[in-house]
Amino acid sequence: MGGGIGQSLLKDGLARVQREVDSVFDAMLPVPQDSRARLVEAMRYAAIGGGKRVRPLLLVSTAELFGVDRDRALRAACAVEAIHVYSLIHDDLPCMDNDDLRHGKPTLHKAFDDATAVLAGDSLHALAFEILADPETSADPFIRVELISTLGRASGKDGMAGGQMMDMMAEEQDYDLHTITRLQQLKTGALLAASVEMGAIMGHVPPEGRAHLRAYSRDIGLAFQIADDLLDHEGDETKAGKALRKDDGQGKQTFVTLMGAEKAREQAKALVEQAVGHLAAHGEDARMLAAVARYIVERDR
């Protein structure tokens, strides 16, 4: 699991899952022959191409640990990614973060219009649950329902959307490190953790068997957000494919403003090593999950 081997494993793993996710979305989103065409074209614009696909890679890599069929795992991975993509579309809207650039291309509301962006986000949101409810994702309805319940909780008011609300209030309120940690656990951590959890659910791992994976997710979730704050603070906009230095401009507290860049970087690295430690029982089988953890702090976008 050295840096070089881990990096090449990760690069191949990401490239493969990027191709696969694009291909599943392409098949799921045929453009209809009526005036809904514009809606589906907008969904395709946002869902296909671009995106690191970290969440899908987490889900399929966890599922692989437990021998889950890859095509089924990929469907669940696309459900998680559909939620992630819809949240980016709505986040980028003028009334939210008002961003013009995402994955190096114009944001959806720039390429289409605001109303289409709202509707395309809503439609991707519904698509996630349609995918999970379909027997093609799992023949076992217990599994399908547990996947839906896990994703619903991770994305709603007690997960991602709740974290986004806390983030919106951050400009007015001086959050301390405890509150910033809680905010990020909801805003970013919940969906990353759901990806890992859903892979284990598909592998019929009971809740008590998922504790070490939850610990792994908690650590990489936090490391991911610290890395994001560092990127926002000192990254390259061209590589990132989006506007940076926004937190600084809004006077928001982040891990970097609260801890300083140097300490934040050390903390992220320590979290990643701790995360990798939680995978010990899986030995070499977990090398992709270990590589994802390391990638999270080393990425430049």
Residues that bind a copy of itself (CB under 8 A): 32, 34-36, 38-40, 43, 86-87, 90, 93-96, 113-116, 118-119, 121-123, 125-127, 129-130, 132-134, 141-142, 144-146, 148-149, 151-153, 155-157, 159, 161-162, 164-166, 168-169, 173, 179, 182, 186
Minimum distance of a copy of itself from residue 63's CB (angstroms): 19
From the centroid of its chain, how far is CA 58? 9
Q: Each residue of 259-290: b (16+ CB within 10 Å) or e?
A: beeeebbebbbebbebbbebbeebeeebbbbb
CB 138 within 8 A of CB 147: yes
Minimum distance of a copy of itself from residue 248's CB (angstroms): 20
User: Which residue type is seen at 194?
Assistant: A
Name the residue nearer to a copy of itself (CB basis): 147 or 290.
Answer: 147
Minimum distance of a copy of itself from residue 180's CB (angstroms): 12
Name the residue nearer to a copy of itself (CB basis): 98 or 238.
Answer: 98
Q: Token digits for 88?
A: 């980016």
187: nearest Cα among 225, 220, 160: 160
Minimum distance of a copy of itself from residue 300's CB (angstroms): 29
Name the residue nearer to a copy of itself (CB basis): 182 or 212.
Answer: 182
Name the residue nearer to a copy of itself (CB basis): 140 or 236.
Answer: 140
Minimum distance of a copy of itself from residue 115's CB (angstroms): 5
Minimum distance of a copy of itself from residue 107's CB (angstroms): 14
Name the residue nearer to a copy of itself (CB basis): 121 or 199.
Answer: 121
Name the residue nearer to a copy of itself (CB basis): 122 or 237.
Answer: 122
